[in-house]
Structure 1
């Protein structure tokens, strides 16, 4: 095999990173980025770049743990003590219940706008059950292909829209300077820490194993896969910021800070550019939302199956076995069916507070435990952290801890 064929073969192997990045970038991230562009124009462009770098470091650490230790992230957490189980058990149950409703509603919004023959709740149920059936019947290889197709769709539509609107090149370059406009601190931390940063960062290692990468010989491939994925995500998010800056900031339009803000944007696009552009945007909106739903239905269910396997003494089962396990299917059902009750109501206040508190801890928990694990004798010396990885994970842990404390403060002051 010549050098060109080797490079082509490597590019064909890419996949788990795209799955993790696509799953992590949901509609909430799109709205946050649009609102940041809406309020501050191009000024926070640099924060998106830093955020992509932080995610590359964090996902690389998760993937390296799986390959260097030849065990899962939950196995690593278990070696740190039973306290990790005490945190993880309520987290994954509460998070799954609330996120299930959020994901199905977000996926339904563009469909209800494009096809108003059903109410939002009806489309939400269809999206949830479609995700359930798809994940139940298919294995990782098919799942990866479908997610990759959805990523291509959302990338082409959103980046194409940004190019169609026309970015201000001078302001884009100026936006790469690290400046903090007044009242922008939390938007900045949210852009750095929030876009693509969820429990799916931890699921990345499980998808790496599902791809067939199971030992340290795959670390170089994993690093390429991860870097390509988050650079692609960074371009996607930069394009979203351009749309917010050009279409909203310049016009003085204020966007709603929830998923309905994306429907409002579709209406603005229709007024400015006609129904075709608006429809294309809604298709990209659906691709972003539904790829997140499918990713969580699959990846977090794998994590739950691993968690239950550790409790039952079944450690490091093959991914194919986990995908067929009752624990995997039970969690897919938990994500898909019970959250439907929340579609008829606002999120119960007590549940919202608990969800906010347990969810705020996860990203600092992930960053700091990876820092701990990858500096220990649990991995071979050659694959332990160097100064660059330690710096990146330390910065990520500090950033996520600050966001965590801010979220806790918001929850406490809202009581």
Structure 2
């Protein structure tokens, strides 16, 4: 564990020594970044690379900077105020509670099925004769349930770190294997918008690593044992390293899209199945071993998102229930680290697992998907703009409120997510 500085920092208000950040402390950021980067994000990056080559590389970099700012703001709120994010939302009015409940109920139902299916796709491709895709999906959901149910944060973090290591090795290997043109890549850092690229650019900036799990970052920070402002420097290093890792994933996939798909004119299907298309291209070009290694990385990417949501959003739901009971006179809310085995935590775990299994056996659940798309599209602007509100108010100690740069990035992110939200709603099959 990182030690404390001997000299008290003026930045900390003289109330506590700031702990020295160290590599052994890295953890919650890796968890939030790995959870936020799903198979669909990688497909979107590949498609952008296949259509525009390296031209939109700058957008991927900007997207990682935006996520660093959002996660840092969420973690700073938890550490500077000693309050959870849901507690902050509740202080903004009852409308935030109504929104949160509606969101996690509908979103959790549909996301559970999507996460199980995404994790099942590479397993079905690796072992095509073992069982049907639907049963692979059920197995993935039940495995995630059992793992999160019986393990606390420390074990969860270690497993996530191992899976991130697998993702890292596979994506970097693929990027090196396709032999990227570094000169073109460097040129791609210049902000340029080719004709027809606006939607893809906004998607790269706003989509990769951007989900409700960004809001869960502060909860994982507390579960790690970081509970006051003395951990602020540790948290910031953790967050930056995590999204640097995410940036490498994204850049590597853009390289693959630019070199392997752009030059040959190969088009991928949208959604998670696009990665199966890439697997076939890799097998044709580089052989079966490379294709299977890619499928292993595909599984690691999908399964980290599954267990990350199973754990992180369940923590948030448990906090919501605790604050609701506290408001109704049910006593003080428990610490975050005490909620991993609570009844609300486990109830939401069950909600994420068993009701969504029914969707796996329906061919076209269009009505629910439309509702999910509309509600889900509104979460990221909600997160960005409420963080601006909370971190500029008296709810936050003055020395830890947003500066000009933080406000600029968060407001810009909020507006970006509003545009993405409108775009997503417009694309829904009404």
TM-score normalised per structure 2? 0.93
Question: CA offsets per residue over residues 177-214 of structure 1, 9 Å max, x none?
Answer: 10111111111001000000000000000000000000
1:60: which partner in 2?
Answer: 72
2:16: which partner in 1?
Answer: none
> 193, 206, 213: which is aligned to 1:200?
213
Judge conservation of contact 2:21–2:237 (CA < 8 Å) in 1: no
1:355: which partner in 2?
Answer: 372
1:143: which partner in 2?
Answer: 156
**After the TM superposition, which of the residue ranges 6-15 and 336-345 deviates more from structure 2?**
6-15
> 218, 223, 230: which is aligned to 1:217?
230
> 10, 27, 38: which is aligned to 1:26?
38
Query: What is the CA-CA distance between 1:369 and the residue it aligns to?
Result: 0.2
2:122: which partner in 1?
Answer: 110
* Equivalent residue runs for 1:304-343 within 5 Å: 304-313=317-326, 316-343=333-360
* Equivalent residue runs for 1:9-408 within 5 Å: 10-116=22-128, 117-313=130-326, 316-408=333-425
Q: Take 2:81 and 2:2, find their aligned partners in 1: how far apart are those partners?
A: 32
Judge conservation of contact 2:21–2:234 (CA < 8 Å) in 1: no
Judge conservation of contact 2:123–2:136 (CA < 8 Å) in 1: yes
Judge conservation of contact 1:71–1:316 (CA < 8 Å) in 2: no
Query: What is the CA-CA distance between 1:399 and the residue it aligns to?
Result: 0.4
TM-score normalised per structure 1? 0.97
Judge conservation of contact 1:266–1:278 (CA < 8 Å) in 2: yes
**After the TM superposition, which of the residue ranges 39-48 and 306-315 deviates more from structure 2?**
306-315
Secondary structure of residue in 1 paired with 2:79: helix
5+ residue gaps in structure 1? none
Q: Take 1:236 and 1:147, find their aligned partners in 2: how far apart are those partners?
A: 15
Judge conservation of contact 1:75–1:315 (CA < 8 Å) in 2: no
Q: Take 1:318 and 1:379, find their aligned partners in 2: how far apart are those partners?
A: 19
Number of residue equivalences? 412
Query: What is the CA-CA distance between 1:322 and the residue it aligns to?
Result: 0.8
User: Stretches of 4+ moved more than 4 A in 1?
Assistant: 6-9
Q: Take 1:85 and 1:347, find their aligned partners in 2: how far apart are those partners?
A: 31
Q: Take 2:266 and 2:88, find their aligned partners in 1: how far apart are those partners?
A: 48
Q: Take 1:237 and 1:2, find their aligned partners in 2: how far apart are those partners?
A: 30
Question: CA offsets per residue over residues 323-376 of structure 1, 9 Å max, x none?
Answer: 111100010011111101111223422211111111111000000000000001
Q: Take 1:100 and 1:352, find their aligned partners in 2: how far apart are those partners?
A: 12
Distance 1:361 1:9, change over 3 A: closer
Across the aligned residues of Structure 1 and Structure 2, the Cα RMSD in angstroms comes to 1.7
Judge conservation of contact 1:72–1:316 (CA < 8 Å) in 2: no
Judge conservation of contact 2:55–2:192 (CA < 8 Å) in 1: yes
Judge conservation of contact 1:304–1:331 (CA < 8 Å) in 2: yes
Query: What is the CA-CA distance between 1:264 and the residue it aligns to?
Result: 1.1
Judge conservation of contact 1:306–1:315 (CA < 8 Å) in 2: no
Q: Take 1:269 and 1:342, find their aligned partners in 2: how far apart are those partners?
A: 31
Judge conservation of contact 1:54–1:392 (CA < 8 Å) in 2: yes
Secondary structure of residue in 2 paired with 1:337: helix
Judge conservation of contact 2:20–2:234 (CA < 8 Å) in 1: no
